[in-house]
Structure formats: C-alpha cells, structure tokens
C-alpha cells in the first residue's frame, strides 16, 4: 500500500486582503505572496522587495525570496511563477487551494501541469476558534470601538437642538459626516482604522442597514452608529452598533428598541458550545414576530428583520460562523456579533450590536457598553 502523502495547501494572495494568508503567516503586506503548507513544512515566498520585512515580521513560516526560485535577469516573475518553481523544487505536482483562490490563478497552475483540488473552507474553521492572543487582539479593536462610541455619545449629548430640530455643536450644524470623522479620528488614536467606513445615519436613513448617513443630524429621531475598526498592527476587527435618540424618542422607535433588546437577550441565552446558530437566528425571528414586528423580504420595500443575527469576527469582519439560516454548531472560542435589528421605510431603523466570545458555559461580551436609547435632551 502506498503511503498517503501529506496534503499540500497552496495559497497565492495578498495578506491584507486574504485573511487565510495573514492567519498562516502573521505577515500583513499589500503585495501578493505564496504560502506553502504541508505538515510541518511552512514556507512563505515574497518578492525581493518584501523579503527583509517578511523575515522580521512573519511567524511560523520560513521566508524565501522569489529570487531563490526564479533566477532570470529580465523579470522577477509572477506569484504563479514562484509557486510553480517552488512545487518543482519540492517535487510536488498536486496541491489543494482555498475556495477564494482566483480562478485565473488555478487555470494558470493547471496549464503548467499541476493538479489542483479546491478546498472550499480552507482555514475558515480553524480560524473561527480564536486563541488567547487572537481574543486579546479582537478585544483591543473592540475597545477602540467603545472609545469611539463614547466620543460620539459625548458629542451628541453636548450638542444643542435648534428651531428646526437640527443638532448643533460648537456653533456649527452637527452632520453625519462630522460625527463620522470624530469617530474615526478616535479610532486612529487607538491604532485602528475604519477601513470599511462608519455608519452614522439619522431618521429615515436608518431604515437602510448599510446607509452610511449624510447631512444634518436631528433631535427626536433615531441615530444609528455602527463602528467596525480594524487594528493597523494585528489586522483583527471589532464590530459594534448602538441606536440612540437625542431629545424625545418616537413611540415606535422605543417599541422597536425594546424588541431588539428582547431578541438580543433571547439569542444570548441560547449561545453556548453545541448550540445551533440557525436555531439562534430562528429564535430572534420568533421574538420579533411575537412582538408584532413583521418581516417582508419580497417586493419593492423589504422591511422588518432583513439581515442575519450575527457573524464571526476575526481577521475578516465577516467570517465563520454565521448566525443565520445557514446554521452550524457554535464552539467555545468562536467570536461572534449578535446584532438583531428592525427596519421600516418611512419610520426608521434600530440595531444593537456587540461582539461576544463563546465560553465553555455561554458567552461573554468583549467590551460592554450600555444599550440605552436615550441621550437626554
């Protein structure tokens, strides 16, 4: 019987964009690299330009300059060339690649006689369960989000309300754009950037979960603040949302906020190792339905609870596990958001989101902050 050879996982990608590559190497770089993982053999190939930095920063891999593999005077070659040369050197003619690998790269490898098997999840499941070091990194990003949220609350609390119910701060209108800048400056001070933007929407805008918000902020209307910083140093994300009202909250928004908090409590009560993520999501749907908040996905104006209950957070802002209809079993060490929300065009939206770690007995919020709707008048 032939001995089964250890499977080779080959990755060709940009560490900043492909979390699997960053996870495997700890090397946060903007240019393509090649990663070769085969049992204990863990190699990282970079361009000559990135070589010295990779030697200093990469972890758990041996760093190779592409010049060790491609010795042409005319060109340094493409990362696909490096991969082919490395496989030739290692006398390997087949490999697995992650599902995210560009099909163009796979075709190029196949054209050179390499047999490629697609491994859809690759490192996703391993990445979903966080180490203590990873947990600390996510907590730091989440604490940056809390600081930025507090800074925004402070600005809203200090703001005055003019005759048109417009908020004013330091003599000028307080806009979504101004509040967003204030939030992101605070994130920068904590070593994080708002790579994906920041949501600071108000009034009817809040009925769109991804609407970033524009123009003046108003009293007596919902304001959604969704802050998702990425650490510059580690690449880990945080994710947090609050819905607040300056002045008097509309009755409907108060009811929606209470329902969102109830749905959150119901979800949190279920989260523990072994729980089914699909069941948690279904429970949130039930709570909303029981409180009379209907969801409509069809037609021109989708409304109600129109997104999933949550998602994993790590080196990707959205990663495994999904707390959605997709389902899956929760495990200790998973880091997930819980973010029930309700959205009604013409009325507005409410979403409350925190990031939690699944513990041996339940879950724990990584960086708590009160959920309250009111910011005072």
**Contacting residues toward its own copies, per CB under 8 A:** 16-17, 29-31, 48-53, 65, 67, 71, 74-76, 97-107, 116, 118, 120, 177, 181, 184-185, 188-189, 191, 193-197, 208-212, 232, 297-302, 306-307, 325-326, 345
Least distance from its own copies to the Cβ atom of residue 53, Å: 5
Counted residue by residue, the chain has a size of 377
Q: Closer CB to its own copies, residue 194 or residue 336?
A: 194
Crossing angle, helix 277-290 and helix 251-270, to 10 degrees? Answer: 150
Query: In terms of Cα–Cα distance, which of 102, 110, 240, 247 is closest to 168?
Result: 247
Cβ contact 355:345 at 8 Å? no
Least distance from its own copies to the Cβ atom of residue 100, Å: 5
Least distance from its own copies to the Cβ atom of residue 58, Å: 13
Residue 104 has which token pair? Answer: 């163009």
Least distance from its own copies to the Cβ atom of residue 114, Å: 13
Least distance from its own copies to the Cβ atom of residue 251, Å: 24
Q: Closer CB to its own copies, residue 65 or residue 147?
A: 65
Q: Closer CB to its own copies, residue 77 or residue 336?
A: 77
Q: Closer CB to its own copies, residue 38 or residue 318?
A: 318
Q: Closer CB to its own copies, residue 157 or residue 185?
A: 185
Query: In terms of Cα–Cα distance, which of 216, 200, 214 is closest to 162?
Result: 216
DSSP string, 225-252: EEE--EETTT--B--EEEEEESSPPPHH
DSSP 5: P
Beta bridge partners, 322, equal 311
Buried b or exposed e, range 97-136, using 16+ CB within 10 angstroms: bbebbeeebbebbeeeebebeebeebbbeebbbbeeebbe
Beta bridge partners, 310, equal 323
Q: Closer CB to its own copies, residue 52 or residue 258?
A: 52
Q: Closer CB to its own copies, residue 153 or residue 305?
A: 305
Beta bridge partners, 354, equal 338
Least distance from its own copies to the Cβ atom of residue 358, Å: 24
Least distance from its own copies to the Cβ atom of residue 339, Å: 12
CA atoms within 13 A on the CB side of 211: 21
């Amino acid at each position: 019987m032939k001995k089964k050879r250890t499977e080779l996982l080959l990755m060709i990608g940009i560490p900043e964009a492909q979390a699997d590559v960053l996870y495997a190497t700890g090397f946060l770089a903007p240019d393509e690299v090649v990663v070769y993982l085969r049992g204990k053999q863990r190699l990282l190939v970079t361009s000559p330009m990135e070589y010295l930095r990779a030697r200093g920063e990469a972890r758990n891999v041996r760093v190779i300059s592409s010049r060790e593999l491609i010795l042409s005077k005319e060109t340094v070659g493409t990362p696909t060339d490096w991969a082919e040369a490395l496989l030739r050197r290692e006398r390997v003619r087949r490999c697995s690649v992650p599902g995210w690998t560009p099909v163009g790269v796979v075709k190029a490898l196949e054209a050179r006689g390499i047999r490629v098997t697609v491994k859809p999840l690759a490192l996703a499941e391993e990445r979903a369960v966080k180490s203590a070091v990873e947990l600390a990194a996510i907590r730091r990003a989440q604490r940056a989000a809390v600081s930025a949220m507090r800074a925004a609350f402070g600005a809203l609390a200090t703001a005055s309300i003019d005759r048109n119910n417009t908020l004013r701060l330091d003599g000028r209108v307080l806009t979504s754009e101004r509040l967003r800048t204030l939030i992101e400056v605070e994130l920068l001070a904590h070593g994080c950037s708002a790579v994906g933007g920041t949501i600071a929407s108000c009034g009817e805008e809040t009925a769109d979960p991804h609407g970033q918000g524009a123009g003046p902020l108003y009293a007596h209307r919902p304001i959604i603040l969704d802050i998702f910083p990425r650490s510059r140093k580690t690449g880990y994300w945080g994710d947090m949302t609050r819905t607040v009202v300056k002045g008097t909250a509309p009755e409907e928004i108060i009811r929606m906020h209470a329902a969102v908090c109830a749905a959150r409590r119901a979800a949190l009560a279920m989260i523990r190792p072994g729980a089914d993520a699909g069941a948690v999501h279904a429970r949130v749907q039930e709570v909303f339905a029981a409180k009379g908040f209907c969801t409509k996905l069809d037609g021109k104006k989708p409304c109600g609870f129109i997104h999933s209950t949550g998602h994993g957070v790590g080196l990707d802002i959205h990663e495994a596990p999904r707390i959605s209809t997709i389902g899956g079993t929760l495990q200790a060490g998973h880091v997930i958001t819980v973010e029930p929300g309700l959205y009604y065009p013409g009325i507005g939206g409410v979403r409350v989101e925190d990031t939690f770690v699944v513990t041996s007995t339940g879950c724990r919020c990584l960086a708590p902050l009160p959920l309250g709707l009111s910011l005072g008048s």
